[in-house]
Amino acid sequence: MTRLLEVWGDTVDSRHLAVSVGIGVVIPVPVFLIAEQFFTANVENPALGKSYALLAGLVGCLVAALVAGRLFKPKRVVRAQDVVDEASQRAALDAIVAESGELGDPGDLAKPIQDELHALGLYDVLLADHRRRREAAALEEQAPATGSIQETDPETPDAAYAQGHGK
Amino acid sequence: MSPDFISALLWAISMGLVGAVVFAAIGLVSGTDETATVAPLTLLVVLLGVPAPGVFTFFLAGVVAKHITHMIPTTLLGIPGDTMAVPMMREAQLLRELGVPHIALRKAISGGVIAAFIAVPFAVLFATLLTPAADAIGKAAPWIFLVVAAFIAYTSKGKWAAVVALVPFVLLIAGLQAFAVQNTGKSLSISFFLGIATGPLIAALFTTLSPGRKSMVRSGPREFSLAADVRTWKGRLPNPFSVLDRKQLAFTSGAAVVSSATFVFSPVAMTVLMGEVAGQRIKNGYHRLTSVIAVRNGTTESTYIAETLIPLIALGLPLSPLAAGPAAPLFNAPPVYTVNAETGETNNLHNLLSTWEFLGFGLIAVAIATLIAYPFAMTHAHRAASWVMRKVSHEAIIGAFIGLIIVISLYEGGVVALLVTVSVGLIGGLLNNAFHVHSGVQFMGFYVAILSVPQILALVG
């Protein structure tokens, strides 16, 4: 059986997690307790002595993180995505149109935004897509009753998801 | 300049730097919830005895820097940097698929920086408008907390379930508090906060030991594709004003002002709403995406700043989702900062800093966070994201967090406090998972147990 688990938003190995939590207890806690004994005995102001002990405990936590980080590598596979995928680009354009109406003619934008698009190499992509959509719309008008109507979902999924994370 | 002022200024600048560096780094790690990270570390800074100006700039520079670097995983990896990054996932993903993730990143962080600078003076202004009502609000505080707790619960995803779940949760806190007083001779609060803030982690760790573990099993490591980052400028780093066009500047600033005034609403809800309002007014698809992401990230900054500053300046009572969450230790961190349960009297940043100091130190904090996080995110985003993904193991982060939870609990009240933290964390985390009773609702539940319950009992006789 796999030992990989999803805990607190990322993948971990269950045994590595257990050892890491163990390290997180075994290093900082004794450091704090010993420091508390030492500082409350040797510092006049007891509140200040406890603060020093807390600081020592924090350093213990950092040491624990370094040790566990040394022992265990992340369970992630990272791939470099260097080339723009034309298929996903087209899918993104479709999604933009489906979610919020239209893409628009980039030629209608203000000059600085047009410059920005030229610099990104996106101007021609957007223009071609806009023309393609206009032609498709024109064709559909010529042949009525055969075209399908694209339904749009008014509630974007991200908004619905985010509402749940009430903060 | 008096020596006192110089000392305050030095504390403010140095702690602002520490906060900005620490939280700019934490922002790179995806899924690091603000309440779970900002509240414990701010608490630590308060308890260590850092003077008020330093505590304030540590917190503010920290959240501003985190909400700049949280866009790095969000835009380049397609995973939310933290809870406030979730509303920007869709725009980030579409811009990534269009092949311009770096533009998503730059628009978002430029919006964040501009909104942060606008939010500080406006929050101070709105706070001073509210100040005349402060006495009346203070006297009615126990009842206001009751109403606000129900309101925050109802506006959460849990709706009525969250409102009703408040009752047993408040009873749990009242009971644990009585147990703690009986056994340690003093009441606890840090341990309750810590349990609430880290509840989801504590509940998840318990689940790994239970049959529920099956739902957590993964067949292989998580796969990510890291988008390339292209530098599109020559010479000096572009400033935020040149990254955004005029319309985007106007929308971002407008959203910052509006969201600075609405300090009782959920920051996530405001972030979604401000983006929608701007998006509906922009026709072109590409322009709409880049504008919405700038406005939304700007709102993550302005809501966090205003929801902290307004209750701090005007009331001293934690009456906003932020104040009853990441900013909680600025209001209540005994023995250093206190809110008296019987009289409603406060001894916290509200009493220790003047309005002008809030304004001045607030702007200093935003400036420091900008100077640290903005150039870093503009130039090193790709390398930083890659390093974190390949080198920082999640196990190590969880281990260190568990250590921190135990140490802080022991500090407050020994083994009894630790048991309180674990109990609150487990129950709170399960309420969060099962009924969407999020940590903001639970923080309000804590104040209801401490402030409102004694009043209700007195009435009932």
List C-alpha distances in Å: B386 to A52, B37, B72, B105, B383.
36, 22, 10, 15, 5
Nearest CA in chain B to A106: B284
Spatial separation of the C-alpha atoms in residues B231 and B237, rounded to whole Å: 10
pLDDT exceeds 90 at position B79: no
Percent of chain B with pLDDT over 90: 57
Helix (H), strand (E) at residue B327: none
Interface of B with A in 282-301 (CB under 8 A): 283-289
Nearest to A167 among B228, B247, B268 (CB): B268
- What DSSP line would sit under B381-442, residue for residue? HHHHHHHHHHH--HHHHHHHHHHHHHHHHHHHHHHHHHHHHHHHHHHHHHHHHHH---HHHH
Question: Any CB–CB contact under 8 A between A4 and chain B?
Answer: yes
pLDDT in tens, B2-58: 889 999 999 999 999 999 999 999 998 876 788 888 988 999 899 989 999 999 999
Residue B92, token pair as written in the block: 């980030």
| Residue that wins the pLDDT comparison between B59 and B408 | B59
B266 and chain A: CB distance < 8 Å anywhere?
yes
Q: Do A120 and B100 touch (CB under 8 A)?
A: yes
Please give the Cα distance from A55 to B47 (Å, whole number).
Answer: 10
Q: Across-strand partners of A11?
A: A6
Q: pTM for this structure?
A: 0.83
ipTM score? 0.81
Distance from the Cα of B265 to chain A's closest Cα (Å) equals: 9
Q: Identify whether the C-beta of residue B33 lies closer than 8 Å to the C-beta of residue B83.
A: yes
A54 touches chain B (CB under 8 A): yes
CB–CB contact A163 B246 (8 Å): no
Q: What is the model's pLDDT at position A161?
A: 39
pLDDT, residue A166, reads 39
| pLDDT classification of A158: cutoffs 50, 70, 90 | very low
User: Is A122 close to B31, i.e. CB distance below 8 A?
Assistant: no
Q: Is the minimum CB–CB distance between A107 and chain B shorter than 8 Å?
A: no
pLDDT for position B193: 84
- Find the mean pLDDT for residues B365-388: 93
A54 contacts in chain B (CB < 8 Å): 44, 47-48, 407-408, 411
The CA angle B176-B177-B182, to the nearest 5 degrees, is 95
What mean pLDDT is predicted for residues B157-170?
93
- pLDDT for the residue A162: 41
The per-residue pLDDT for range B224-260, each reduced to its tens digit, is: 778 777 777 778 888 999 999 999 999 999 999 999 9
Which residues in chain A have Cβ-Cβ distances shorter than 8 Å to B289? 96
Amino acid at B233: W
What residues contact B276, with CB distance under 8 A and at least 6 apart?
A159
Question: For the residues B143-170, what does the mean pLDDT come to?
Answer: 90
Would you call A163 an interface residue with chain B, using a CB distance cutoff of 8 Å? yes
The pairing of strands B346-347 and A76-81 is unpaired
B223·A77 Cβ contact <8 A: yes
Query: What crossing angle do the helices spanning B52-69 and B3-28 adopt, rounded to 10°?
Result: 30
CB contact under 8 A, B440 and A166: yes
Angstroms from A145 CA to nearest CA on chain B:
28
Mean pLDDT over all residues of chain A? 82
Q: pLDDT at position B55, please?
A: 97
Identify the CA nearest to A134 among candidates A90, A98, A104: A104
- Which two tokens mark B103? 């533009």
